[in-house]
Amino acid sequence: MTIATAPDIREIVRQVIAELRSAAPASAGITTPGVAASPAGSGSFAGRHGIFDSIDDAVTASQEAFEQLERLGMEGRRKAINHIRRISIDDAEELGRMEFVETKIGRLEHKIEKLKVLGERSPGVEFMRSEVFSGDHGLAVIEHAPFGVIGAITPVTHSLPTITGNAVSMIAAGNTVVVNPHPSGKKVAAEGVRRFNAAIHRDIGIDNLVSLIAEPTLDTANALFNHRGVKLICVTGGPAVARAALQASKRAIVAGPGNPPVVVDETADLDRAARAIIYGAAYDNNLLCIAEKQVFVVASVFDRMMAAMERAGALRLNATQVDTLTRKAIVMSGEGVHRHPVPCKDLLGQDASLLAMAAGASGRDGLELVFGETDNDNPFVPTEQMMPFLPFVRCRDVDEAIRLAHESEHGFRHTAIIHSNSVRNMTKMGRLLDTTLFVKNGASVAGLGLGGEGYISFSIATPTGEGVTTPLTFTRQRRCTLVDDLCILGSPDTINH
């Protein structure tokens, strides 16, 4: 099968306009996004299918869509979400290919799988609930209300999947969303958003529940942060955008960076640990924020663990090859005290075979992960490498392994993994690392309900503390109090007439 190239953004816009011309009433006055504000005379942005050049237009359209959605109640939300789910699942292969071709990182099969999984399993209206306090003084109901228009920033590592997950959960809570995607994943983001909106518009008559800035820049991101029509920000990305969102003048839900460490102690089932580490670290070439990034192994089982990794299919690099790869894969960025190691763009998200060749080893078909022994001061250890090479550090004992794991996580409090059959060691690590996700005896993805219990989201709010986001994350509490009535328990004699 040939790989389809992501359509040029102008092509997407042309398709939208063509669809509109054939579907919309003659008076609708369709205009090209960015050329004029809105369809003349209608006072509405219906027909844009979410594609905007201007933040002002996108937010206005999103506010209109929010007001329309409010009128359709929970059933309207459910119908809209069902279209997003269906398209993410049915078009996963085509959209996954587009994402792969456009972003040039990760693995095609996982681009497709991520869309399917988020379409199927992102938390929707079933997560909505109210709480009740009933007692001598009547009834208080806590309702979870929408904020309105949410401004979202999405990463290149999962451009459309993050939008899918965000859209399902945000709309389930009754909100609408304007997305400023990563510039390197903007085309597939626009194509997905266009498809979602076209289907929703056709079915329930609301367009622009999900809006997107077609030509995103840092300026448009900042304009979105500061727009008075945006009531809440949700940012998914690395340190710079996380910092920017935390400094914004309104509430932000920040799904920030991680550098998940793994500890393997002397009680672990080493073959099981090796299979889990390879699965998690190799998934989409290590692009997941939760993916295993460095491994600390107790010395008494270190050599056996390395052998288990090879048995499970990973390729071990020798010391010279590790050095060669390190020089090519990790580069320095920033100035002065801010100078720090970062992954080299040419190798970020690339296949394990390519990394093997860069290291001077031979790759092979189906190779998922390369690994090697390093010192704790190798730059792969502190760096969120986002490529399928794992440094393994030999540690005196489990206490040293946990301490080094803690240091390498940088206090992001994102994700940590241990392979152990000692609940005491699990407890020690859980307490010290204090991470949002803590996985024991499984691949990192188990922390998102894939091979473990629980639910999935690709926005795991770490510094702001909301955790794996659900519709309730995107709500504000409202309390409705009725004094002295509707608590139907107790004696009728106690009612004051």
Q: Which residues bind ligand NAD (CB under 6 A)?
A: 153-157, 181-183, 218, 221, 236-238, 240-241, 244, 255-258, 289, 384, 458-460, 462
For residue 411, the minimal CB distance to ligand NAD (Å) is: 14
For residue 209, the minimal CB distance to ligand NAD (Å) is: 20
For residue 164, the minimal CB distance to ligand NAD (Å) is: 13
Contacts of 184 (CB under 8 A, 6+ apart): 102, 103, 156, 159
The pairing of strands 460-461 and 467-468 is antiparallel
Residue closer to ligand NAD, measured from CB, 355 or 460: 460
For residue 63, the minimal CB distance to ligand NAD (Å) is: 22
For residue 237, the minimal CB distance to ligand NAD (Å) is: 3
For residue 241, the minimal CB distance to ligand NAD (Å) is: 3
Half-sphere exposure of 51 toward its Cβ, with a 13 Å CA cutoff?
A: 32
Which residue has the CB atom at the shortest distance from ligand NAD? 237
- The CA-based angle 388-282-455, given to 5 degrees, is 135
For residue 159, the minimal CB distance to ligand NAD (Å) is: 8
Residue closer to ligand NAD, measured from CB, 83 or 414: 414
Residue closer to ligand NAD, measured from CB, 244 or 309: 244
Residue closer to ligand NAD, measured from CB, 237 or 388: 237
For residue 246, the minimal CB distance to ligand NAD (Å) is: 11
For residue 450, the minimal CB distance to ligand NAD (Å) is: 14
For residue 220, the minimal CB distance to ligand NAD (Å) is: 9
Residue closer to ligand NAD, measured from CB, 57 or 384: 384
Residue closer to ligand NAD, measured from CB, 68 or 122: 122
For residue 279, the minimal CB distance to ligand NAD (Å) is: 18
Residue closer to ligand NAD, measured from CB, 39 or 238: 238
Secondary structure of the chain in HEC code, one letter for each residue: CCCCCCCCHHHHHHHHHHHHHHHCCHHHCCCCECCECCCCCCCCCCCCCCEECCHHHHHHHHHHHHHHHHHHHHHHHHHHHHHHHHHHHHCHHHHHHHHHHHHCCCCHHHHHHHHHHHHHHCCCHHHCCCEEEEECCEEEEEEEEECCEEEEECCCCCHHHHHHHHHHHHHHCCCEEEEECCHHHHHHHHHHHHHHHHHHHHHHCCCCCEEEECCCCHHHHHHHHHCCCEEEEEEECCHHHHHHHHCCCCCEEEECCCCCEEEECCCCCHHHHHHHHHHHHHHHHHCCCCCCCEEEEEHHHHHHHHHHHHHCCCEECCHHHHHHHHHHHEEEECCHHHCEEEECCCCCCCCHHHHHHHHCCCCCCCCCCEEEECCCCCCCCCCCCCCCEEEEEEECCHHHHHHHHHHHHCCCCCEEEEECCCHHHHHHHHHHHCCCEEEECCCHHHHHCCCCCCCCCCCEECCCCCEECCHHHHEEEEEEEEECCCCCCCCHHHCCC
Residue closer to ligand NAD, measured from CB, 304 or 410: 410
Residue closer to ligand NAD, measured from CB, 235 or 429: 235
Residue closer to ligand NAD, measured from CB, 213 or 395: 213
Residue closer to ligand NAD, measured from CB, 302 or 458: 458
